[in-house]
Structure formats: structure tokens, C-alpha cells
Amino acid sequence: MIKEPFIRISKRTEINRYYAWAIRGISLILALLACAVVIYAMVRLNPLRVYAAMWKGAFGTGKRTWVLIRDVMTLLCIGVGLAPAFKMRFWNIGAEGQILIGGIVTAAIMIYVGEKLSTPLILILMFVSSALAGALWGFIPAFFKAKFGTNETLFTLMMNYIAIQLTSFCVSFWENPYGSNSVGIINRGSKAGWFPAVFGEQYVLNVIIVLAITIIVYVYLKKSKHGYEVAVTGESVRTAEYIGINVPLVTMRTMAFSGAIGAIAGFIAVSGASHTISTSTAGGRGFTGIIVAWLSKFNTFTMILVSLLLVFLEKGASQIASQFDLNDYASGMIKGIILFFILGAEFFIEYKIKFRERKKEVLSA
């Protein structure tokens, strides 16, 4: 006699949208409660004061709010760029390198022709050039995957290191001042190549560009023929080949598109935020973008909320570390607990758990 297991886990065929968001909301509440216990156990602080400090770190002043929005837009752009490749089941781990390539091209144009062209022309030139460079950078691993069956995870990961070394070379070549091992702020006086203020705010153009890309990619994936081919290829390569889809072409085209958007994130990071280039320009956000893409199920509009949450946690963690004199490990622990519960919620959305039913014994008279 085969005994039925106590717990059975099965994949859901579908789930109500509101029920899914209710699970996410409950997981966030549980995460805050768990953090409250950890905070009090470690440092004997009132958890409400800590949460208030997190809010203050993100939205405490108008400047902090705009910095948060700026960083959300950069992370969102990275996540949106990863969505097409991931939906095709092409594991693009090379967003860090794509960001750096876009940043290098942008910095080069700012340095060499920034003060020779008008602001609209220089912005268009940087946008197009960084996108083309990123498209080429994304095309390379896709070509080898399509033609020779190479492992895209390792290939794109290794290309990150190439991009880092290329960035280091450019930094040493553009040192300012000489010997500083830093490019410094590019065109500090003239601000040539910097994003101009829109409606009196410095980062409005960041928002306009990234939200436009978000909408375009959503329509591309959901409504276009190319998006249909990406979805079918991601579900089954054999099915795609059976119905006549050119899988190698789709692979190379999609990764070029993905790489272009990743490089545009680098353009935004350099021209619209830091106004310099270094090996820390990507700052690990290429890997954080993977979390954004996965948690959002490749829905670019959902990525807005996920990006906001992750950047809020980052800003809040920095604030509580400084305000309460905690080390980075303590604040990072709080961030990790919240992310753990959020990721756990996705498990319960994807799968359902059924416990073994207790069988009633039938008593004979």
C-alpha cells in the first residue's frame, strides 16, 4: 500500500490577479513583523522608529525623493532591458557589461564632442551610439549561442569582466586630473552632454526616457509579431522551429535589443546622473535588474513597483545604518529579510500546497 505524502506541492494552472497581490501584501506585512523582532532582539530599538527612518531616507526631503526616482528609473531601465532575453529563456547575465559599454560610449562623446554640438544633438548622438554599442555587445554572445551552442550564462558573465577591464583602461586614459585614477566630473563648467532640467527638475528627462522605453517594450512583447516569436521560442524551441520561426535569428535579434536597452541605462547613468564613468558605474545594478525582471514576470509595468521597492529598501537601509549607528550588516540583514519574504510570496503564487487529508475510519456495528 502506497502511503500518501503529508504535503503535496503542485504548480498552479492559473491564479486570480487580486489573490496574487493579496499574497504579496501579506508577505510584506510578515516581513515587517519579522524585521521588527530581529531589530528589537539585536539593538533594542523601537521598530517603528526604524521604519520611520527608512521612509525618511527615501522620501525625507525633495532632493532625496528625486534621487530615489532617478535611481528607480535606472534600475527599471535595466530590468526592462533584461525582459526580452529572459522571456526567450536566454539567460543574459551580462547587464553589468552592457551598462558599462553604454557609459563608456556616452563619456567618450561628452569628452570629445560635448562642447561642439548643441544639447539636443549631443543627447541624440549619445542615445543612438550607446544603443548601437550595447546592441553589438548583446549580439556577440547570441551569435555564438545560435551558431555554436555556447552557454549564454557563462558567455555573458565573462563579457562583464571584459567590460570592466575596458572601463578601467578608459578611466586611465581619460584621467582628470592626471594621476587621480579618476575621470572626474565631465564638463563640470559647461555641463555639455548633461541632461537638461525639465519643468525645473533635474531628473524629469530620466523619467520620460525610461517610461517611454517601458511602454515600447511592453507593446513589443505583448502585441508585436516579434514578441510572439520571443514567447514561443521561450516556451519551446522545437515548437518554434515546427511552426517556422527562425530561432537563431530571433535569438540574435532579441539579445541585440536587450543589450541596446542595457546600454541606454548606462547612457542615463552617465549623462543623466553621475556625469562620470568608472568601474562602479553599474554598481551591481545589472544583477539587481535580474531580480526586478523575475519578480515582475517580465511585465514591464510591474517592474516599476518592484524597482521602487528595491531602491526604497536600499535608501532606507543606508539611512538606518547612519542614523542609529548600525553597521552595514545589520541594515543589509533587514533588506535581506524583506526580499526573502517577497521572493517567498512568488513561490505561493506559482505553487499550491495541499496537506494529506485525515481519513475517517468507518466503524462497523
Q: With contact defined as beta carbons under 8 Å apart, do 238 and 252 qualify? A: no
Establish if 170 belongs to a structural domain: yes
Establish if 143 belongs to a structural domain: yes
Q: What is the predicted pLDDT for the residue at 358?
A: 65
Q: What is the average per-residue pLDDT within 113-131?
A: 93
Q: With contact defined as beta carbons under 8 Å apart, do 311 and 71 qualify? A: yes
pTM of the predicted structure, to 2 decimals: 0.89
Asked if pLDDT for residue 348 goes beyond 60, the answer is: yes
Query: Does 4 or 275 have the greater pLDDT score?
Result: 275
Based on the domain organization, do 27 and 145 belong to the same domain? no
C-alpha cell at 42: 539585536
Based on the domain organization, do 94 and 114 belong to the same domain? yes
Domain of residue 149, CATH code? 1.10.3470
Determine the Cα–Cα distance for residues 175 and 171; give it in Å rounded to an integer: 6
Based on the domain organization, do 97 and 6 belong to the same domain? no
Range of the domain at 220: 66-323
Based on the domain organization, do 289 and 183 belong to the same domain? yes
Based on the domain organization, do 76 and 35 belong to the same domain? no
pLDDT in tens, 50-103: 889 889 988 989 999 999 999 999 999 999 999 999 999 999 999 999 999 999
Sequence letter at residue 210: V
Asked if pLDDT for residue 363 goes beyond 80, the answer is: no
Q: What is the predicted pLDDT for the residue at 105?
A: 97
Domain count, the chain: 2
Q: What is the average per-residue pLDDT within 174-199?
A: 88
